Amino acid sequence: MRRVRTDLRHNGIDVAAPAGAVVRAAADGLVVYSDNTLRGLGNAVVILHPGGWTTLYAHNARNTVQPGWRVKRGERIALVGATGIARGPHLHFEWRDNGRLGDPKRLFVGRRSDELMGPLVPLDGEARPQEPEGESGTEAEPGNGAATESETESAGTEIAFPFELGTVATARRLMTRPAPNLPESVVGRRFSNLLWPVKGGYLSRGHGAGGHRGVDIAAQEGAGVRAAADGIVVYSGDGLAGMGHAVVLLHRTGWVTIYAGNRENGVQAGDQVQRGQWIGRVGRSAAGSEPHLHFEWLQAGEHRDPSPLLTAPAAP
């Protein structure tokens, strides 16, 4: 008798949409999950609604809400992407009534643009594409949250840079000298502030004390580390002395941001990332130390205090 892989069943519907299109809450509710640890689903949001309903929104390029947030019907909660084991940009949507899966199509109201949104793929029990060998399904967010990771151009092939990506020498250069202008083919928005780069956490050590060139943000070990602004990964590795696993981003403004002491990095050199995109996980810089992110910001080659530019720092 053939065994049925229930974990590969298609439990919802897929709505094709352009990468970056807005994903909205289907009804008022409480965000109970916003992360990238659900096998194969990439960046996903789960909302609990009054009456016992739950809705799930998966394969997002980036989630824009956090657990514990109350959202209104129609409020933006994510952007369409192709993270996880998705083969192209779309929203995977699931609806449960007190834990029981149902077909949500009969409950949809409002106008849907066939031209912009694409077809609804019915809940038909067909298997999802299987993950590539050796992938966990949660590693796709890297190139999430990769402007989206599956859509990112490959630096060094289609884009010509005035420096070599991925080397310690390049990382050190950007940490000591002004950054060169990025090629026009590198996409990215300009920002005047920096997104709080950790899911949760609080500022545990400031800039400047004892020659500290950045700030430390204490957070739960394994918490998501996110890009503070759109940029390109110029370094991802563990070759920078004293920084452990570190990611270095170059931004269109000429800013450089560094995310160090990670338990793991989730991006590679050449990945173009969007503000808020997952790029790693919080780790411990040394045995016995408290888990935290070491974050540095450089402007014109000078280390500066990022605290005034960080948005919504959390209290202890």
**CATH code of the domain in which 112 resides:** 2.70.70.10
Same domain, 273 and 172: yes
Same domain, 96 and 208: no
pLDDT band at 285 (very low <50, low <70, confident <90, very high): low
Instruction: Name the pTM for this structure.
Output: 0.53
Burial of 167 (0-12, 13-18, 19+ CB in 10 A): middle
Same domain, 194 and 101: no
Same domain, 159 and 293: yes
Looking at the domain assignment, is residue 97 inside a domain?
A: yes
Mean pLDDT in residue range 130-143 = 30
Q: Which structural domain range is residue 87 located in?
A: 6-121
- Counting the structural domains of the chain, the total is 2
Q: Contact 90/14 with Cβ under 8 angstroms?
A: yes
DSSP-based three-state secondary structure for 164: coil
DSSP letter, residue 293: E
Same domain, 260 and 196: yes
Mean residue pLDDT across the chain: 77
Q: Contact 177/298 with Cβ under 8 angstroms?
A: no
pLDDT in tens, 6-52: 445 678 899 989 988 999 999 999 999 988 888 888 899 999 998 88
Same domain, 200 and 284: yes
pLDDT tops 90 at residue 155: no
Mean pLDDT in residue range 274-293 = 81
Report pLDDT for 136.
Answer: 30
Tokens of 149: 């990771």
Same domain, 78 and 221: no
Same domain, 157 and 114: no
Same domain, 174 and 304: yes
How many CB atoms lie under 10 A from the CB of residue 206? 12
pLDDT tops 80 at residue 233: yes
Same domain, 279 and 167: yes
Same domain, 112 and 161: no
The alpha helices in the chain, defined as continuous H runs, are 114-117, 168-174
